Amino acid sequence: MKLNLKVWRQKNAATAGKLVDYTVDNLNPDMSFLEMIDVLNDELVKKGEEPVAFDHDCREGICGMCGMYINGRAHGPNHGATTCQLYLRKFKDGDKVYVEPWRSRAFPIIKDLTVDRSAFDHIIAAGGFVSVNTGQSQDANNLPVDKNDAEKAMDAAACIGCGACVAACPNGSAMLFVSAKISQLALLPQGQPERDIRAMRMVEQMDAEGFGNCSNISACEAECPKEIKVSNIARMNRDYFAASVCSETK
């Protein structure tokens, strides 16, 4: 199997980038997309050329590191899957495949396909946690959780912070990510004491990082590998509004 790649190459954030043509031959259709990039890099190294820089870690669809824009879609043509879960059998022999990094002002390019997603870390640090008193924790049975709330919280917690929602959104919005992190705590008893201030702090940090506003076209949900629902954004907006009203009345 052979693929004709057009890969974004950029030395660093200060230099201009461009798409570079590569042809990778003798590929196995059962290879993952990242394994194909590994093959390309092996060939480049043997030629004395610079390998393509890209993010990866677990390669099991869990860590959210493998952020690539493939043929105009975040993570590629598969629905509900990360780049590392994309296999070459999804393409035809001789296909031309465009491979680019996430495109967002808040995700500056470091090199080639690698972008700086530390903005997400700053948002989590602003309020994506639960403060608890030290000492022995109470028995779990003392904190009953409604089954529907528990399932919604678990669904929101499935977010792996890959940034596909930002890359897919025409406004570069991070609201799906932020709302998922807010919802997974807002739906549980442990998250109630700081619920309002958490929403306020995380949304303000999101804005400070340079992400755009929600465009309401739901491209984020369509491209999310964990299928996080936009209903979380509505919950986040309600919590933020409640926090804003409370702060104004104090």
In CATH, the number for domain 117-249 is 1.10.1060.10
Question: What tokens appear for 212 in the block?
Answer: 């755009």
pLDDT at 136 over 80: no
Give pLDDT, residue 247.
67
Beta strands 18-24 and 69-70 are unpaired
CATH number for 3-111 (one of 3.40.50.150, 1.20.120.1810, 3.10.20.30, 3.40.50.1010): it is 3.10.20.30
Domain(s) labelled CATH 1.10.1060.10 in the chain stretch across 117-249
Alpha-carbon radius of gyration of the chain: 20
pLDDT at 21 over 60: yes
Give pLDDT, residue 135.
76
Distance CA 53, CA 223 (A): 23
Within 13 Å and on the Cβ side, how many CA atoms surround 238? 8
Distance CA 192, CA 239 (A): 11
Domain(s) labelled CATH 3.10.20.30 in the chain stretch across 3-111
Residues 6+ apart with CB under 8 A from 57: 63, 65, 66
Q: What is the pLDDT of residues 110-119, one digit of tens each?
A: 999 999 999 9
Q: What is the pLDDT of residues 159-189, one digit of tens each?
A: 999 999 999 999 999 999 999 999 999 999 9
What's the rounded mean pLDDT across residues 4-9?
A: 98
Q: What is the pLDDT of residues 44-77, one digit of tens each?
A: 999 999 999 999 999 999 999 999 999 999 999 9
Contact 222, 159 (CB under 8 A): no
3-state secondary structure of 92: coil
Angle in degrees, CA 164, 97, 230, rounded to 5:
20
pLDDT tier, 250 (very low <50, low <70, confident <90, very high otherwise): low
Instruction: Indicate whether this model's pTM tops 0.85.
Output: yes
Distance CA 234, CA 38 (A): 41
Give pLDDT, residue 248.
57
Residue spans of beta strands (DSSP E) within the chain = 3-9, 18-24, 69-70, 73-74, 96-100, 109-111, 114-115
Burial of 135 (0-12, 13-18, 19+ CB in 10 A): exposed
Give pLDDT, residue 133.
77
Give pLDDT, residue 246.
75
